[in-house]
Amino acid sequence: MQWLKMKLRFVNLILLLISSACAQLGGDPNGYLTYCPCMGRFGNQADHFLGSLAFAKALNRTLILPPWVEYRRGELRSRQVPFNTYFEVEPLKEYHRVITMADFMWHLADDIWPESERVSFCYKERYSLQQEKNDPDKPNCHAKDGNPFGPFWDTFHIDFVRSEFYAPLHFDVHHSNEAAKWQAKYPADSYPVLAFTGAPASFPVQLENCKLQRYLQWSQRYRDASKDFIREQLPRGAFLGIHLRNGIDWVRACEHVKDSQHLFASPQCLGYKNERGALYPELCMPSKEAIIRQLKRTIKNVRQTQPDNEIKSVFVASDSNHMIGELNTALSRMGISVHKLPEDDPYLDLAILGQSNHFIGNCISSYSAFVKRERDVHGFPSYFWGFPKEKDRKHSNVHEEL
């Protein structure tokens, strides 16, 4: 009898291993989902990724992890960087089934998603920039039209044989039975892969999906590089990480503040229903004087409240002007040194900012939002430039930390 029980346990273990292997390398009977992260740079793509991960789980389909889309100065076509260059794959599996696009295309696509059955999904017809491609009798997603759409799918030699318009379905699976509607309309046996022309998620990230940041963990390369920089380049003691968004494209984007209730990632400080206030220009583009005032105030506050762990340095990440000279001059009398990476690396900047003892970011920026979510996972304090308003700060008990 004991021998029989051991044999049954062994058989069950083998079946479990076989089932797991089939789901990853033998095909998931529940189907797959993927998309082109074709809107914006990394901050926007990260917001979309969290929503897409939640959407894939709600539909119970394995998420094919798309590469990150990058734009290099002087290059006409986007570059696609493998997902696991920056982030680990295994932690994501604690939440839901995932597979890299390279693994899927190399090991599974020929059987599960043959070239003759590749369908692109979009909400409604997308018109091509090349007018001769637009046929009123044959509406099309034009999934590969333009940059980065074409280069993205070309990376894996993917062409589509037809288009599928999924209107009026949508991606909010938290406040309706939308997932059941998707499953009913697109069963896995008829549609093994749902390949979207854009991310099946909203921007900015839905509040319900912010918590998924805990599964997005830096690759060993970036963990090591960030720790090495902090240990070797920054003085011993606490450091304050700051993000300065001040490039010309950002200056133009900030012009929309006056006409907007929300802009980009502004819900991270104002709330999704503006419960913490309305949008104002200083949130988007604080002046140099305001930046220096807030830095000095933050450093003094930490000295008073945490005398055993005073701020000794400031680390700056920026898309344009790091203000190293101005900040060193302004903070020298406080004994604070200001630092940046010797060569620009926005991903390493992010990894370092996530580990700073304190962080000040831009409320409107999705790049800052990534840092804020990561710090929330670890319970680290974060603040925003110009929030709350300086005049409101003087006459209220609102605490700056969020």
Lookup: tokens for 366:
């999705």
- List, for residues 32-79, the tens digit of each pLDDT value: 999 999 999 999 999 999 999 999 999 999 999 999 999 998 999 999
Q: Strand 193-196 vs strand 32-35: parallel, antiparallel, or unpaired?
A: parallel
Radius of gyration of the chain from its Cα atoms, rounded to whole angstroms: 24
CA angle 379, 380, 383 (to 5 degrees): 125
Question: What is this structure's pTM?
Answer: 0.90
Judged against a pLDDT cut of 50, whether residue 148 lies above it is answered with: yes
User: Mind listing the domains of the chain with CATH numbers?
Assistant: 24-208 (3.40.50.11340), 220-397 (3.40.50.11350)
Instruction: Report whether the peptide linkage leading into residue 168 is cis, meaning its omega lies within 30 degrees of zero.
Output: yes
Q: What is the pLDDT of residue 400?
A: 52
Lookup: tokens for 161:
């044989």
State the average pLDDT over residues 257-272. 95
The C-alpha atoms of residue 127 and residue 143 are separated, in whole angstroms, by: 10
If pLDDT is split at 50, 70 and 90, which confidence band does 3 have? low
Location of structure tokens 């959407």: 55
Q: How many other C-beta atoms can be found within 10 angstroms of the C-beta atom of residue 208?
A: 14
State the average pLDDT over residues 330-352. 97
Q: What is the pLDDT of residue 343?
A: 96
DSSP state of 355: T
Judged against a pLDDT cut of 60, whether residue 5 lies above it is answered with: no
DSSP run (H or E) holding 361 = strand 358-361
- List, for residues 287-299, the tens digit of each pLDDT value: 999 999 999 999 9
Instruction: Tell me the three-class secondary structure of 308-321, residue by residue.
Output: HHCEEEEEEEECCC
Q: What is the pLDDT of residue 17?
A: 39
What are the φ/ψ torsions at residue 209 (nearest 5 degrees)?
A: -100, -5
Single-letter code of the amino acid located at 192? P
Location of structure tokens 């110009």: 386
Judged against a pLDDT cut of 80, whether residue 23 lies above it is answered with: no
Location of structure tokens 């390369």: 221
- List, for residues 79-138, the tens digit of each pLDDT value: 999 999 999 999 999 999 999 999 999 999 999 999 999 999 999 998 887 777 878 878
- List, for residues 229-248, the tens digit of each pLDDT value: 999 999 999 999 999 999 99
The C-alpha atoms of residue 60 and residue 32 are separated, in whole angstroms, by: 9
**3-state secondary structure (DSSP) of residue 397:** coil
Q: What is the pLDDT of residue 211?
A: 97
Q: How many residues does the chain have?
A: 402
If pLDDT is split at 50, 70 and 90, which confidence band does 392 have? low
